[in-house]
A and B are shown apart, each in its own frame.
Chain A
């Protein structure tokens, strides 16, 4: 293989095209005159599959630059922080969810230091609780006890 990017993207196109085709087979296709809900998705899936084939084929013909280092820790940290805050938001309340979000995400940075982070947690959490929950009535408990 000569171009990892073309190959990777091509595989994504092919997989998505395959998923769409298999799901769209459950939707009525209809005719050109009266297109059913399965008609347009099928056209798109075939087009995407075609693009995917070219992309994978090209990956073996043309040289490309390698993908630069992926820092999985930073990516995973940010995504985890968002997901955890989503889980905690209703269950534990905004006063738990936001500090968790800030702490996990800030911990990813190489410049992480405890003192400014804690200060940031206090300011942001209190401000958000005041503005969004007390002020704008966002339906989230300040402190929850599990359950909704």
Chain B
């Protein structure tokens, strides 16, 4: 894992989303510890999202299907949460959904940040 590239992921995301980005953090899925995060990130929220991912994976086993590259949760109010699990890490991104349309997020931003994230993790 390349720490500089991880930080680069967050910087790139800030540049792409601007004020639409509310918070972002990359955590270890093993223990929920935060590796890197933006200024306004909520550590407890990132850890909770880690648990959500685990429960989703467990639930999907019953079908069975497997979680892919991301999931998105619309949150009451003006927030949307995008989670990108990859290997032993997960990238949590909280956006202002009034400013960041879902289509932009999933079709434009997501493909590039997934590539950057995977590159940072495997480097």
Are A and B physically bound partners?
no
Chain A contact residues, CB within 8 Å of chain B: none
